[in-house]
Amino acid sequence: MGHVLSHVRKPDEVVKQPVVEFRNVKKTYNVGQPNAFTAISNVSFVVENLPDKGELVAILGPSGCGKSTILRLIAGLDPQHPPTEGEVLVLGEQIVGPGADRGMVFQDYTSFDHRTVLENVTFGLECQGVSRKTREELGRIWIQRVGLDVTSDQHKYPHELSGGMRQRVAIARTLILRPRIILMDEPFGALDPSTRMNMQDLLVSLWREVEATVFFITHSIEEAVYLGDRIYLLTNSPGTIFEEIEVDPPDRPARVMQREASFQDTVYYIRDTITVMEERGGKSASE
C-alpha cells in the first residue's frame, strides 16, 4: 500500500532543490468579465529535483478539476500562463513562457499531417537549427527506441499510423529534445487497454533513460498507481490538491504489478477516498 502523506508538502518543507514549485496558485479565466471562472485556487506543492532518477508524478481528479490547467501552467502556455495569483517556479525560477527544458505530450495526436514520422520526430531539432544529417540520425535512433520500425515507418505520414503508433511518434518527438520536465496530458487515454499497458511499460523504460521529472495526467487510478512515484489527488470547484501519496516505483511490468495485493490496496484506497470526497461535495475526508 502506498504511503499517504499527512498533508500535501509545501515548497518550504523539502530538503532537496525543488524542480517544480507551486506557491498558492490561483487561476481565474476571463478575469473581470461576466464569465470569469476560477479553475484552481490555493494550489501549493513541491516536487524535488532528483537529477539521476527523476520522478513520475501522477495527477488524478474528476473532469474539470483543473488538471490540464496545472500542467499548462508548468508548460508556460497561454491562456493558463501566467497564474492569476501565486507563483509557479521551475528550478527556482519563475516561468516566463514555454522553454526547451519542458516538453509536452497531449492526449490527441498532435503530429503534423504533412510531415513524415521522421520529420515529425525531428521537428524540434530542426527548429533548433540542428543539421539534417545529425537530426535524421538521432531521429532514427528515437524511432527505434519508441518501438517503431525505422525501415517501414520512418517515411509514413500520420494518417497511415494507428493511435498507438502516433503516440509513440509524439513521445519520440518530445524525448529527442531531452527535456528536464515531461508534461503528459492523458497521453494514453484514447488507446485500447492492451496497447495502453505496452505504452506504460515503454514510458517507464524511456523515462529511466532520460532521468526527467514526468507529470502525468490520467483518469485511470490503476495507471496512476502503476506509473507514479507520487500521486496528487485533486478535488473540484475550484480545483485544489487534497492528498499526496507516495507509491512504489514501476519496477516490474504493468501486467505483473497490477495483480499484487499492495497495488490493489492502493487502488481501492484511492477509489474510496475519491468516493468519500464526492459525497462530501468536493471536500476531503480530513476537512
Q: Which is nearer to ligand ATP, 153 or 185 (CB)?
A: 185
- Binding of residue 122 to Mg ion (CB under 5 A): no
Among 66-74, 87-95, 148-156, 223-231, the segment contacting Mg ion (CB under 5 A): 66-74
Question: Which residue of 8, 20, 43, 65 would you call a contact of ligand ATP, by CB under 6 A?
Answer: 65
What's the grid cell of residue 261?
495485493
8-state DSSP, 160: G
Q: What residue type is assigned to position 287 of the chain?
A: E
Among 41, 44, 49, 68, binds Mg ion (CB under 5 A): 68
The reply to whether 69 sits near Mg ion by the rule CB under 5 A is no
Contact between residue 249 and residue 80 where contact means Cβ atoms under 8 Å apart: no
Residue closest to Mg ion, measured at CB: 68
Candidate residues 69, 174, 198, 218; the one interacting with ligand ATP per rule CB under 6 A: 69
Query: What residue type is 21 in one-letter code?
Result: E
63 binds ligand ATP, rule: CB under 6 A? yes
Angle (CA) 69 194 176, round 5°: 55
> Which range binds ligand ATP by CB under 6 A, 63-71, 125-133, 158-166, 261-269?
63-71
b/e map of 216-239 (b: 16 or more CB within 10 Å)?
bbbebbbbbbbbbbbbbbbbbebb
Q: Binding residue for ligand ATP (CB under 6 A) from 8, 39, 225, 254?
A: 39
Distance CA 201, CA 237 (A): 34
Q: Give, as ranges, the residues between 42 and 61 that touch ligand ATP (CB under 6 A).
A: 61
Which of 197, 211, 198 has its CA nearest to residue 55?
A: 211
> Restricting to residues 253-282, which ones interact with ligand ATP according to CB under 6 A?
none
The option from ligand ATP, Mg ion, none interacting with 105 (CB < 5 to 8 A, set by class) reads none
Q: With CB cut-offs between 5 and 8 Å by kind, which of ligand ATP, Mg ion, none does residue 104 bind?
A: none
Provide DSSP, 135-160. Answer: HHHHHHHHHHHTT--HHHHTT--GGG
Residue 236 sits in the site that holds Mg ion (CB under 5 A): no
Strand, helix or coil at 233?
strand
